[in-house]
Structure 1
Amino acid sequence: MLSELDYSAIFLTFKLASLTTFILLIISPPLAWWLARSRVVFRPLIEALVALPLVLPPTVLGFYLLLSFSPDNFIGRLWFSVTGGSLAFSFSGLLISSVIYSLPFVVQPLQSAFVNLDKNYLEVASTLGFNSIEAFYRVVFPMIMPSYIIAGALGFAHTVGEFGVVLMIGGNIPGETQVVSIALFDHVETLQYQQAHLLSFCLLAFSMTLLVFIYGVLQKRQQRVIHA
């Protein structure tokens, strides 16, 4: 049976994933739109920075974030002066690092959708008198909604499965920074294989369900394209 600490880790994991996804679904569409349409010379640099978590080992990213969150550095010192608490080894630190770590999983599907969007729709919106913001939210956004849903699901799933970054930033504080992946690691280290099996099965079932949902959305989108 799962222990009280396991349930606490599950709750904390879904709290972290939900808040991370909520933030990413707000900040990612404008960034993806800019990356899809901008022609400035430094765009490849911004794209590389966004995609960096895809190729950088999580422990490396976590290490530099941990240094940045330290009270000895500007970000950590500023956070401490405003909140009175430490950013490292806290839920707030986990949230910020999760947003950075999961950013490409939300931005890239949206960027791809914007790149493949038929520009004729934007021209029609312009002839109707829509400004750029109105065209985005009243024409573009509804058309890329399946990609938006998929991006959110990918960001949520990726946050649930985090290990290296959350271990570096949050450590292993029950009820504060101990997420499911860390609790699972604890069970394996202490040879509590039954609890490890239960947590692993929960993650496996969740991941499989989410993938079925994502591929279901993709299939419906493909069918709409075929019948259009």
Structure 2
Amino acid sequence: MLIDFTPFFLSFKLAFFVTVILLCIGVPFAYFLSNTRSKIKPVLEAVSALPIVLPPSVLGFYMLILLSPDSIIGETVYKLFNVKLVFTFEGLIVASSLYSFPFMIQPLQNGFENIDKRLIEASFLSGKGKIRTLFKVILPNMKSSILTAIIITFAHTIGEFGVVLMVGGSIPGKTEVASVAIYDYVEMMDYKSAHFYSAIMLIISFLVLLFVYIFNEREKKKYELF
């Protein structure tokens, strides 16, 4: 059995880019949600959480339409950057970022909302502005939430199937990530290869979740000491 590890490389590469992008977007967005009292907050929360309950096939279908060369977005991106967003790795990044969005936002929002308000007040009283308070006080005190958001987003992106298949297709070496490769092997009735790929994905998923739970448990014990 000849095993091609390219799909795993593409999966990790996709997960890395998606996680970095969502972390940059997620921190200010989650900070806004945790501090705003606007009437639009429930709408924003519902929209950001929609990928959790929406079937991947539905999201993938609309992403396929939204990113196609005939759409405004697809046509504009192609004209400006000469990049197609359908059946390309770049398209996978865009689609996966939308699909994994709530898995980054919700842990971050919970982290912001659980910060001791006295720390923030003390920071303001010492003369620090909102930006310095965010980076010097708030974020360092919610490391557990940040790490959870990063790891869960990364792991969720690795395991994506429906959205990446519809938007990226199954192009070997370009858009065929590990989850799609497993599907292809099953379609070819190559169960030995499918078992091998599935076992690796299972081990990776378990280790990721185990790391998160161990880290969070240690963080809880630190706070219990105080």
Q: Same fold (TM over 0.5)?
A: yes
Of residues 41, 45, 51 in structure 2, which corresponds to 1:47?
45
State the match for 2:95 in structure 1.
Answer: 97
Partner of 1:12: 10
The SS at the match of 2:5 is: helix
Equivalent residues in 2 for 1:72-87 (5 A)? 72-87=70-85
CA shift for structure 1 position 222: 1.2
Contact 1:2–1:198 under 8 Å retained in 2: no
- AA partner of residue 61 (structure 1): L
Selected match of 2:187 from 186, 189, 192:
189
C-alpha root-mean-square deviation of aligned residues, in Å? 0.9
Residue type at the aligned position of 2:164: V
- Segments of structure 2 that go 5 or more residues without pairing to the other structure are none
Q: Which segments of structure 1 move beyond 4 Å, counting only runs of 4 or more?
A: none
How far is 1:2 from its partner? 4.3
Runs of at least 5 residues in structure 1 that lack an aligned partner in the other structure: none
* Fraction of identical pairs, as percent: 43
Partner residue in 2 for 1:24: 22
Partner Cα distance (1:91, 1:16) in 2:
8
- For 1:12, give the aligned amino acid: L
Residues 19-66 of structure 1, C-alpha deviations (whole Å, 9 max, x = no match): 111111111111111111101111111111110000000111111111
SS of equivalent to 1:175:
coil
**2:144 pairs with 135, 143, 146, which one?**
146
Q: Secondary structure at the match of 1:144?
A: helix
Q: Distance in 1 between matches of 2:138 and 2:81?
A: 39
1: CA distance, partners of 2:36 / 2:83 = 39
Is the deviation greater in 21-30 or in 148-157? 21-30
What secondary structure sits across from 2:100 in the alignment? helix
Query: What is the identity, as a one-letter code, of the residue corresponding to 2:102?
Result: P
Give me the whole-angstrom Cα distance separating, in 2, the residues matched to 1:188 and 1:70.
28
TM-score by length of 1: 0.97
Other-structure match for 1:198: 196
**Distance in 2 of aligned mates of 1:222 and 1:163:** 34
Q: Does 1:155 align with 2:121?
A: no
Q: How far apart in 1 are the matches of 2:104 and 2:83?
A: 30
- Indicate whether 1:108 and 2:106 are aligned: yes
Tell me if structure 2 keeps the 8 A contact 1:36–1:114: yes
| Structure 1 equivalent of residue 126 of structure 2 | 128
Q: Identify which of structures 1 and 2 has the higher relative contact order when contacts are C-alpha pairs closer than 8 Å and 6+ apart.
A: 1
Letter aligned with residue 158 of structure 1: H
